[in-house]
């Protein structure tokens, strides 16, 4: 697929839009991931969660951070009109858009990427499902999709986007919101009906495993948790 656009996001992150070739039309679901490789390096394939949603047609978007060989090459070198090889979306990290459910999505750093797809689809389809993103970043400069999430909050009364910054103010980065890591007390404050809550966690294994510990601490059964481990 051809790179249609490369959009710098927060510090050390970019969103890459891959335009579908003529005649291509994929059936896929919000929350799935594609697998990409450079044409000159077919043995180095990596998975990327879609940060666009299934209602976005004609392109895929994914959001990368500077990490490892592929992450660094993509972040530093990819340009519009270049080509990437792409395996179609797959995966089971899917939003359960049932009216009485509450999806609580835990994310750290670029792990928020698939939740942008969740929030887009929820707003566009006007689903009644409650959707809450609890997002941990180091500083306010690291928040991905801040303006879009705030706009989606205005459009969707069932959607909430809450951020916590782990690094304390150093003068330059004043943050009027919450400080500290995601913890059980903070997650608990957002739960009103535990039996109908589904907790999602996405990002590096350490973050997802930490989130699994929180869910256990909160007494939420494992069956009510969905995870996407990035490695």
Ligand X SMILES: Cc1cc2nc3c(=O)[nH]c(=O)nc-3n(C[C@H](O)[C@H](O)[C@H](O)COP(=O)(O)OP(=O)(O)OC[C@H]3O[C@@H](n4cnc5c(N)ncnc54)[C@H](O)[C@@H]3O)c2cc1C
Residue that has been written with the tokens 């970043």 in this structure: 137
Residue whose beta carbon is closest to ligand X: 68
Smallest separation, CB 230 to ligand X (Å):
4
Residue from 15, 110, 164, 227 in contact with ligand X (CB under 6 A): 110
* CB-based contact 20:58 (threshold 8 Å): yes
- Nearer of residues 63 and 136 to ligand X, judged by Cβ: 63
- Nearer of residues 142 and 228 to ligand X, judged by Cβ: 228
Answer yes or no whether residue 149 interacts with ligand X by CB under 6 A.
no
Answer yes or no whether residue 142 interacts with ligand X by CB under 6 A.
no
- Nearer of residues 127 and 225 to ligand X, judged by Cβ: 225
Binding mask 29-58 for ligand X (x = CB under 6 A): ----x------------xxxx---------
Answer yes or no whether residue 184 interacts with ligand X by CB under 6 A.
no
| Closest-CA residue to 162 (of 176, 170, 171) | 176
* CB-based contact 37:84 (threshold 8 Å): yes
Smallest separation, CB 56 to ligand X (Å):
15
| Closest-CA residue to 85 (of 7, 21, 15) | 21
Beta bridge partners of 203: 229
Answer yes or no whether residue 207 interacts with ligand X by CB under 6 A.
no
* CB-based contact 35:86 (threshold 8 Å): yes
Smallest separation, CB 109 to ligand X (Å):
9
Separation between Cα atoms, residue 224 and residue 209, nearest integer Å: 15
Binding mask 57-76 for ligand X (x = CB under 6 A): -----xxxx-xxxxx-----
Total site size for ligand X, rule CB under 6 A: 19
Answer yes or no whether residue 9 interacts with ligand X by CB under 6 A.
no
Separation between Cα atoms, residue 87 and residue 129, nearest integer Å: 31
| Closest-CA residue to 31 (of 47, 17, 50) | 50
**Of all helices (H) and strands (E), which one includes residue 17?**
strand 13-19
Separation between Cα atoms, residue 4 and residue 82, nearest integer Å: 8
Per CB under 6 A, residues contacting ligand X are 33, 46-49, 62-65, 67-71, 110, 113, 228, 230-231
């Amino acid at each position: 697929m051809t790179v249609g656009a490369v959009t710098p996001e927060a510090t050390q992150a970019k969103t890459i839009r891959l335009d579908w070739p003529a005649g291509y039309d994929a059936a896929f679901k919000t929350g799935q991931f594609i697998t990409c490789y450079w044409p000159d390096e077919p043995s180095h394939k990596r998975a990327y969660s879609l940060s666009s949603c299934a209602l976005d047609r004609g392109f895929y978007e994914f959001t990368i951070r500077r990490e490892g060989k592929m992450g660094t090459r993509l972040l530093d070198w990819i340009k519009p009109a270049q080509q990437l090889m792409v395996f179609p979306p797959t995966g089971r990290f899917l939003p359960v858009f049932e009216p009485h459910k509450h999806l609580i999505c835990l994310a750290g750093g670029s792990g928020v990427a698939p939740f942008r797809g969740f929030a887009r689809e929820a707003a566009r389809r006007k689903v009644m499902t409650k959707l809450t993103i609890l997002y941990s970043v180091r500083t306010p400069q690291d928040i991905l999709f801040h303006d879009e999430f705030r706009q989606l909050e205005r459009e969707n009364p069932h959607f909430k986007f809450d951020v916590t910054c782990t690094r304390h103010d150093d003068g330059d980065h004043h943050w009027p919101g919450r400080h500290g890591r995601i913890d059980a007390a903070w997650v608990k404050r957002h739960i009103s009906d535990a039996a109908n809550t589904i907790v999602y966690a996405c990002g590096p294994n350490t973050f997802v495993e930490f989130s699994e510990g929180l869910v256990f601490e909160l007494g939420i059964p494992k069956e009510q948790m969905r995870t996407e481990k990035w490695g």
